[in-house]
Amino acid sequence: MLLPELRNQVLRANQEIARRGLAPHTFGNASGIDRSGAEPLVVIKPSGVDYASLTPADLVITDLDGKIIEGALRPSSDLDTHTLLYREFPQIGGVVHTHSEFATSWAQAGRPIPCLGTTHADYFHGPVPVTDPLTAEEVAEAYVRNTGAVIVRRFRIQNLDPLAVPGVLVAGHAPFTWGKTPADAVEHADVLEYIARLAYRSTLLGASDAGIPAYVSEHHYQRKHGPKATYGQG
């Protein structure tokens, strides 16, 4: 069986999606990529399989063109979004897609999540962006691949670093997050849902979309992620 360790990482990430309540039923998926060989290989959840019954052998391995290399089941229907993100964001090693309640609500509203407090600033360097809606032509041509394309387009337009902004809201759809590993990607999905819930409640209480002062959010982000980071033991 190819890539046993990455299979285990991806399995745990998928199980964490369910354990943390980030996707009802079989919605959502996690993947990871191995870039060590001559050809990068992606490990991803099979389509429509219940999280509780997943095993490492159920996971599907594909190349970056979506060709199945190993696996008896159909890969996630979101595969082409995952592979496009891996091609365009070579820094990342894991991708997670959820339909978590509050993050999906912001996505369905077509609104970025403003940085209203330091909890947000600790993980996202600025607002959580929202994509443009897909056009009718993009949906008809290749809906899943173009979902990835509108994500990448938003990051290019705003000149965003995918490691500094480890997630996005797809307009009218739901969030995608990523990280250096599948575990990082699911942690970012969990944090995104938390800050989406905080932002929703803060907005109801009258918070301005202007958010906290930039110098405060910058200080919090840099103390955790900057070259002189003081957070944690590493």
DSSP E strand boundaries for 116-190:
167-169, 175-179
Name the catalytic one among 132, 143, 209, 231.
231
Whether residue 174 contacts residue 107, with contact meaning beta carbons closer than 8 Å, is answered with: yes
DSSP β-bridge partners for residue 43: 32, 61
Q: Which of 122, 90, 144 is nearest to 192 (CA)?
A: 122
Maximal C-alpha separation, the chain: 54
Cα-based distances in Å from 14 to 93, 98, 139, 167: 15, 10, 27, 17
Q: Copy the structure tokens of residue 173.
A: 């759809």
What distance in Å separates the CA atoms of residue 106 and residue 77, rounded to the nearest whole number? 23
Name the catalytic one among 34, 58, 122, 200.
122
Which amino acid belongs to residue 79?
L
What distance in Å separates the CA atoms of residue 174 and residue 152, rounded to the nearest whole number? 15
231 is catalytic: yes
Active site residues: 122, 231
